[in-house]
Amino acid sequence: MSTPLDLSVVVPLYNEEESLPYLVEQLTDALRPSGERFELVLVNDGSSDRTAEVLEQLSHNVPELVAVLLRKNYGQTAAMAAGFDVAQGDVIVSLDGDLQNDPADIPMLLAKLREGYDLVSGWRHQRQDAALQRKLPSRIANRLIGRVTGVKLHDYGCSLKAYRREVLSDMRLYGELHRFLPALAFIEGARITEVKVNHRARQFGTSKYGIDRTFRVLMDLLTVWFMKRFLTRPMYVFGFGGLIAMLGSLLASSYLLVVKLMGGDIGNRPLLTLAVVLGLAGIQLFCFGLLGELLIRTYHESQGRPIYRIRETLRGGRAV
């Protein structure tokens, strides 16, 4: 299917009833003057407030609006993934629905993308969030993620990003992985850069996250590391470990063999235990690698399962 649109803006919404009308207004104000053909893909992530109703109402009046209503709350990443899958634009922009990102920055991101990048990430250089609970942990996280993934961005947590469509086409997102999109895209060979963007304090409602997110992000970082190192070829990781262990076992047994040949007693030496343990561990690690190779092939084959289910999709207020 050919994509008839230049741009899709994807926004996940969880209990953002108050921000929503302003968001849509600021988005249309920012995008209409450019003359580009765009759509606003707004995803209601099972809000318990009136977000869905407000969205439905707006979709009657705003022709560019595409309302995606999820059945229940799946989390920000899944909501974004749903929006990405519905989006038809050649270029996709994501941002938060709470007005903390400034829609007026979008043209700047698009200009940067046109310079030849595949992904442009926002950098909230003057971030308007609590210093201790939010800014410090993310500083540490950004450093860590940069080191682990090899993509040095100042601000992984900034939702305001622009992507060429191809970058997102075979991304499988879950957990908190949306923030690792630059890293995942980089692993696939994408050209990535960042630009400084505005960041505003939350006007309405409250943040949907607490400290538990830091934990989840860290666990996902581990997953990304795993994917980078392991998902391609498990045998390289486990097979190598297995060979090292077997080599250790070989050295220890050779030494013991020499001792034995020279008439020594090796019956109760700790080294013998070590040789046996290393030998067994080596064989096991090696088999692990082989099993991993099988598993990874199955994993890649079986990626068909969606991580969200759409209840309804509205275009111009009508179900499609």
Exactly one of 8, 28, 100, 253 binds ligand UDP (CB under 6 A); that residue is: 100
Query: Does 16 help bind ligand UDP (rule: CB under 6 A)?
Result: yes
Q: How far is the CB of 12 from Mg ion (least distance, A)?
A: 11
Q: Give Cβ neighbours of residue 315 (< 8 Å, ≥ 6 apart).
A: 59, 66
Distance of CA 191 to the CA centre of its chain: 16
Count, residues near ligand UDP per rule CB under 6 A: 16
Rounded (10°) CA dihedral 1, 87, 187, 181:
-170
Query: Does 159 help bind Mg ion (rule: CB under 5 A)?
Result: no
Q: Give Cβ neighbours of residue 246 (< 8 Å, ≥ 6 apart).
A: 278, 279, 282, 283, 286
Query: Does 79 help bind ligand UDP (rule: CB under 6 A)?
Result: yes
Site string for Mg ion, 83-122 (x = CB under 5 A): -------------x-x-x----------------------
* Inter-CA distances, 111 with 71, 192, 197, 243, Å: 36, 14, 13, 51
Phi, psi of 201 (to 5 degrees): -70, 150
For residue 89, which of 171, 163, 170, 12 has the smallest C-alpha distance?
163
Q: How far is the CB of 15 from Mg ion (least distance, A)?
A: 12
Q: How far is the CB of 251 from ligand UDP (least distance, A)?
A: 52
CA distance 243 to 299: 25
236: left (phi over 0), alpha (psi -120 to 50) or beta: alpha
Q: How far is the CB of 129 from Mg ion (least distance, A)?
A: 8
**Residues in region 34-53 near ligand UDP by CB under 6 A:** 45
Residue with tokens 């991101």: 109
Strand order in the sheet with 89-94: 192-197, 119-124, 161-164, 89-94, 5-13, 38-44, 65-70, 310-315, 318-319
- Identify which of residues 8 and 100 has a Cβ nearer to ligand UDP in the complex: 100
Query: Does 12 help bind ligand UDP (rule: CB under 6 A)?
Result: yes
Amino acid residing at 186: F
Residues in the chain: 320
Query: Does 314 help bind ligand UDP (rule: CB under 6 A)?
Result: no
**Residues in region 197-216 near ligand UDP by CB under 6 A:** 207-209
Instruction: Tell me which of ligand UDP, Mg ion, none is bound by residue 194, counting a contact when its beta carbon lies within the kind-specific cut-off of 5 to 8 angstroms.
Output: none
- Identify which of residues 14 and 286 has a Cβ nearer to ligand UDP in the complex: 14
Q: How far is the CB of 248 from ligand UDP (least distance, A)?
A: 47
Exactly one of 97, 239, 282, 292 binds ligand UDP (CB under 6 A); that residue is: 97
Query: Does 75 help bind ligand UDP (rule: CB under 6 A)?
Result: yes
DSSP SS3 for 32: helix
Query: Does 16 help bind Mg ion (rule: CB under 5 A)?
Result: no
- Identify which of residues 50 and 202 has a Cβ nearer to Mg ion in the complex: 202
Binding stretches for Mg ion (CB under 5 A): 96, 98, 100
Binding stretches for ligand UDP (CB under 6 A): 12-14, 16, 45, 73, 75-76, 79, 96-98, 100, 207-209
